[in-house]
Amino acid sequence: MNYEIKAITTDDVKKLQQISRETFKTTFDPYTAPADMKSFLAEDYETGKLIEEIKCPDSRFYFWLVTGEIAGYLKINVGSAQTEKLRENALEVERIYLRTNFQHRGLGNVLLNFAEERAREEGKDYLWLGVYEKNIPAQHFYKRHGFEKVSEHTFQVGNDPQTDWLLVKKL
């Protein structure tokens, strides 16, 4: 398969915004009221907010391109950019999303392995992430990759407080 993993810059913000909204909505629409989804997509993927996240020295974004088309994206965090202080010396996978027509083809494995490689290159001891408690396929995917549930936290989607399981993998 012809693919490329490309670092995202502020020049890519509109593409990132579009794929972020598309993949989040597709993934979580079945569990989220329309007003909450609309609010979340507008606020969390607002252009200025995404630019700040891209510029953050402790966050990195990557597009996953398959034959030149954006198939998905990855956001990883270290240090102060992590959404929780779950473990010392850890790297967080904050977002890992594939567009629908690229799912179930093994591409998620490549993105997750890429994140793990970054963590190992940076000398991290742990890789961690949050997964929605109702997203059973994703939970199984992460379990196959050696992640274990260690905690939970609230992930606010509009006015809907959803529960994410926090999963950790020792490297």
Q: Which residues of 124-153 are buried (b: 16+ CB within 10 A; e: fewer)?
A: bebbbbbbbeebeebbebbeeeebeeeeee
Residue 3: what pLDDT? 86
Q: Cβ distance 59 to 77 under 8 Å?
A: yes
pLDDT at 117: 97
Name the helix (H) or strand (E) containing 117: helix 107-121
Global pTM value: 0.94
CATH match of 3-170 with 3.40.630.30: yes
Q: For 88-102, what is the mean pLDDT?
A: 95
What is the residue extent of each domain of the chain?
Answer: 3-170
For residues 132 and 162, the answer to whether their CB atoms sit within 8 Å is: yes
Q: Whole-angstrom Cα distance, residue 76 to residue 8? A: 12
Given a cut of 70, whether residue 1 has pLDDT beyond it is no
